[in-house]
Amino acid sequence: MSSKQHCVKLNDGHLIPALGFGTYKPKEVPKSKSLEAACLALDVGYRHVDTAYAYQVEEEIGQAIQSKIKAGVVKREDLFVTTKLWCTCFRPELVKPALEKSLKKLQLDYVDLYIMHYPVPMKSGDNDFPVNEQGKSLLDTVDFCDTWERLEECKDAGLVKSIGVSNFNHRQLERILNKPGLKYKPVCNQVECHLYLNQRKLLDYCESKDIVLVAYGALGTQRYKEWVDQNSPVLLNDPVLCDVAKKNKRSPALIALRYLIQRGIVPLAQSFKENEMRENLQVFGFQLSPEDMKTLDGLNKNFRYLPAEFLVDHPEYPFVEEY
């Protein structure tokens, strides 16, 4: 990992760059846009790229990485690439093949971080979002602790440097941490986290266990129609946030990212625009005062843009717990 990068140390000794580039793409955006955006992100200086099997852009991300390695823009060892195990592949025998499929698409020998996308298993098969005749999600009964053991094996096999989870509540994390014969702790829990959902209790819990909180939706999500209620509040238009931004002569987006970074959280910033990508990297160039941090703490309303309603009928649905 290049020394120019601001990094956070994971509990297994590896370093994760303190700001990541998110690659989720809604259906209406063409895949070529993902390739273009990932190339731009690497050009402007991002070295932490977060993707997932379910985003269906791993091939484009792989092409971008390979083209920038060939062009001498980056070296593989300077990159931190994350991808995620999808819910339909939680059966133990499906874990390694799923990772190998992702690696093939990404054109990589290993990923830096492999995480379980949700704590909820779905029926395996050809469909990533399997549903019954009534349109209800087809869920499964795999114990995620069994899935975790296979992630540990993938780490031992050198296919991945670090392993973690996403969208787990503290009770679910506790189950992995207390699992008999646990070999590796999760290095991170990637969750929705922003000024309206500041995850204070989950952050305190994760810090007490030396687990890094990685934030998606850090700027209040891109508000994609498919997943986000269009009547939900627009985070970056928040008047209190805009006041703090004005006072610091920075954009609301930079303030929103800086707020997370100062709390030890690793935010993922997603954009298809070069000017925004460049601007977001300026987050390390200033600090927010304790007063500003306190003001911004006051914006929390435990509001979730992405409640993952397609998993709500499963006993492991994570968001019924307070944290």
| Enzyme catalytic residues | 55
Measuring CA to CA, which residue among 214, 155, 279 is closest to residue 22? 214
CB 176 within 8 A of CB 143: no
CA distance 252 to 248: 10
In the chain, the DSSP E strands lie at 7-9, 15-17, 20-22, 48-50, 80-85, 111-116, 160-166, 188-192, 212-216, 266-269
Cβ-in-10-Å burial (0-12, 13-18, 19+) of 289 comes to exposed
Token reading at 42: 């690497």
The string of DSSP letters for 110-125 reads -EEEEEES-S--B--S
Is 117 known as a binding-site position? yes
Exposure string (b/e) for 6-30, b if CB count within 10 Å is 16 or more? ebbebbeebbbbbbbbbbbbeeeee
CA distance 36 to 45: 14
CB 269 within 8 A of CB 19: yes
CB 196 within 8 A of CB 233: yes
Task: Determine the 3-state secondary structure of 203 from DSSP.
Answer: helix
Token reading at 56: 């269906």
Q: Which residues are annotated as a binding site for substrate?
A: 117
